[in-house]
């Protein structure tokens, strides 16, 4: 006779918020400790404390906000334009047979192009000013948004759409009350990806043709071997990503509270 062994465990990962914070704290402490012990050269990799001091100095001098504000402005405008255009085009491609094949052909052809390679072209077309940077971001955000919205529309259960039609809902009411809310989980998940893409392109665009902004600041610090400020700029970029992710998480929590 033998006891029956439990064998249905695992495959059920959970989020432990404390563990997330603790992991980051431990990494920073190890980094600081490694530098203090002489295992890490502070010439090439400054300590977290040195980076914090650099950030403080930047904040006090006003340089931090001067660079951060313009980057945030570019990010917000570029991402919003790309997202709005992607939502409209994605809906049209997702809903209309006539637009579907041509739309997906164009998106599939242009999506894989590294948008960073297009920055010099955009500078030629739109000038060295804000236009080229905004267009770079919007262009980079547009294609994944279209793909996400189409996927979201396709994922809306057809039985719900047929239900709406069977009760005589108008085409627009079906789109507004069934298709859009049904596609929302996929669309919001896509926002996380497009915000990350936008931050990457923001830095690239600012490194190629900007005097202000986090990308330009990081490039200038690198040229001067000023690793404290260079890492301070990178920390700011990471914080921007985290903040954007937090905002999207709150949006998901509110809009998808029915799940």
Backbone angles phi, psi at 3, to 5 degrees: -65, 145
Q: Which stretch binds another protein (CB under 8 A): 7-15, 126-134, 156-164, 188-196?
A: 156-164
Q: Across the chain, which distance is largest between two alpha carbons, in Å? A: 81
253 is an interface residue for another protein by CB under 8 A: no
Distance CA 49, CA 111 (A): 41
Work out which of 92, 160, 189, 248 binds another protein, going by CB under 8 A: 160
Q: Which of residues 170-209 bind another protein (CB under 8 A)?
A: 170, 173, 177-178, 181-182, 184
Nearer to another protein, 163 or 242 (CB): 163
Q: How far is the CB of 89 from another protein (least distance, A)?
A: 24
Within 10 A of 24 (CB to CB), how many other CB atoms are there? 11
When asked if residue 220 is in the footprint of another protein (CB under 8 A), the reply is no
State which residue, 138 or 183, has the beta carbon closest to another protein.
183
Rule CB under 8 A: say whether 110 interacts with another protein: no
- Residue 155 sits in the site that holds another protein (CB under 8 A): no
Q: Is 254 in the site for another protein (CB under 8 A)?
A: no
Alpha-carbon distance of 203 to 213, in angstroms, equals 8
Closer to another protein by Cβ: residue 44 or 258: 258
Residue from 9, 97, 168, 223 binding another protein (CB under 8 A): 168
Alpha helices for the chain (secondary structure H):
17-36, 48-61, 63-95, 97-110, 119-126, 130-155, 158-166, 171-174, 180-209, 214-223, 227-255
Check residue 46 for interaction with another protein (CB under 8 A). Answer: no
Q: Which stretch binds another protein (CB under 8 A): 91-99, 158-166, 210-218, 246-254?
A: 158-166
Q: Is 38 helix (H, G, I), strand (E, B) or coil?
A: coil
The two tokens of residue 235 are 């920390």
Q: Can you tell me the distance from the alpha carbon of 143 to that of 193, in angstroms, rounded to the nearest whole number?
A: 11
Give the Cα-Cα-Cα angle 74, 80, 82 (nearest 5 degrees): 100
Give the residue, chosen from 86, 90, 164, 233, that forms a contact with another protein under the rule CB under 8 A.
164
Instruction: Give the integer Cα–Cα distance in Å for 97 and 102.
Output: 9
Among the listed residues 169, 188, 220, 235, the single contact to another protein using CB under 8 A: 169
Note the residues at the interface with another protein (CB under 8 A): 159-160, 162-170, 173, 177-178, 181-182, 184, 256, 258-259
């Amino acid at each position: 006779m033998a006891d029956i062994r439990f064998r249905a465990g695992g495959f059920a990962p959970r989020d432990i918020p404390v563990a997330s914070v603790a992991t980051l704290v431990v990494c920073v402490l190890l980094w600081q400790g490694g530098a203090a012990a002489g295992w890490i050269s502070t010439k090439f990799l400054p300590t977290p404390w040195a980076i914090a001091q650099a950030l403080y100095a930047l904040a006090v001098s006003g340089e931090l906000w001067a660079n951060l504000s313009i980057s945030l402005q570019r990010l917000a405008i570029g991402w919003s334009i790309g997202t709005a255009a992607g939502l409209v085009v994605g809906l049209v491609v997702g809903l209309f047979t006539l637009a579907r094949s041509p739309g997906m052909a164009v998106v599939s052809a242009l999506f894989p192009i590294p948008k960073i390679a297009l920055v010099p072209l955009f500078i030629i077309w739109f000038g060295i000013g804000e236009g080229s940077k905004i267009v770079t971001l919007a262009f980079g955000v547009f294609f994944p948004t279209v793909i996400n919205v189409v996927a979201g529309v396709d994922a809306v259960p057809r039985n719900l759409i047929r239900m709406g039609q069977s009760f005589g809902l108008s085409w627009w009411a079906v789109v507004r009350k069934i298709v859009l809310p049904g596609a929302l989980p996929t669309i919001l998940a896509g926002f996380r990806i497009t915000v990350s893409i936008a931050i990457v392109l923001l830095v690239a665009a600012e490194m190629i043709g900007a005097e202000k902004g986090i990308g330009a600041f990081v490039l200038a610090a690198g040229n001067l071997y000023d690793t404290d400020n260079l890492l301070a700029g990178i920390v700011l970029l990471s914080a921007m990503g985290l903040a954007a992710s937090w905002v999207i998480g709150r949006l998901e929590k509110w809009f998808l509270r029915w799940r």
